[in-house]
Amino acid sequence: MSRLRLLGWLGTALLLGGCATSNHGTFVTSTYVTPGEKENAQPAGLVTGESRQSWILYLFPVGDAPSTHEAIEDAKSKIDGTKFLTDLSVDNRIDWRIGYSESVVHVEATAYK
């Protein structure tokens, strides 16, 4: 294989790798709670939730992309009867492993019933 062809394949692999590890941002689906909902709510405790996606060989995604909405719903499901979350903290990270990586959206919040 000629050097030019090898450089072409290497450049393509690096380009695909760069596209595969991009971070497309974090968005919260709902930011408003009416005063009536807030009035009777009681703090239920701290909750965490996650949404994950694996990348085989760091390039090929498996499953749906991680989403903030899924992480919030996961956090809300930790305490039965949770109506809404406050003091929301959202973190995006990539966990690197041998042969694969995981894109993670991690949410921490206070749950209210």
Per the CB < 8 A criterion, the answer to whether 58 and 101 are in contact is: yes
pLDDT per position as a tens digit, 26-38: 666 666 778 877 7
**Whole-model pTM?**
0.73
Instruction: Give CA separation, 42 vs 35, 76, 81, 85, in Å.
Output: 13, 14, 11, 11
Rounded to whole angstroms, how far apart are CA atoms 113 and 76?
Answer: 10
pLDDT number for residue 30: 66
Note the pLDDT tens digit of each residue in 64-112.
889 899 999 999 999 999 999 988 999 999 999 999 999 999 999 999 9
Distance CA 21, CA 4 (A): 26
Running DSSP on this structure, what letter comes out for residue 95? E
- 22's enclosing H/E stretch is none
Beta strands in the chain (DSSP E): 43-56, 60-62, 84-96, 100-112
**In whole angstroms, what is the distance from residue 11 CA to residue 97 CA?**
23
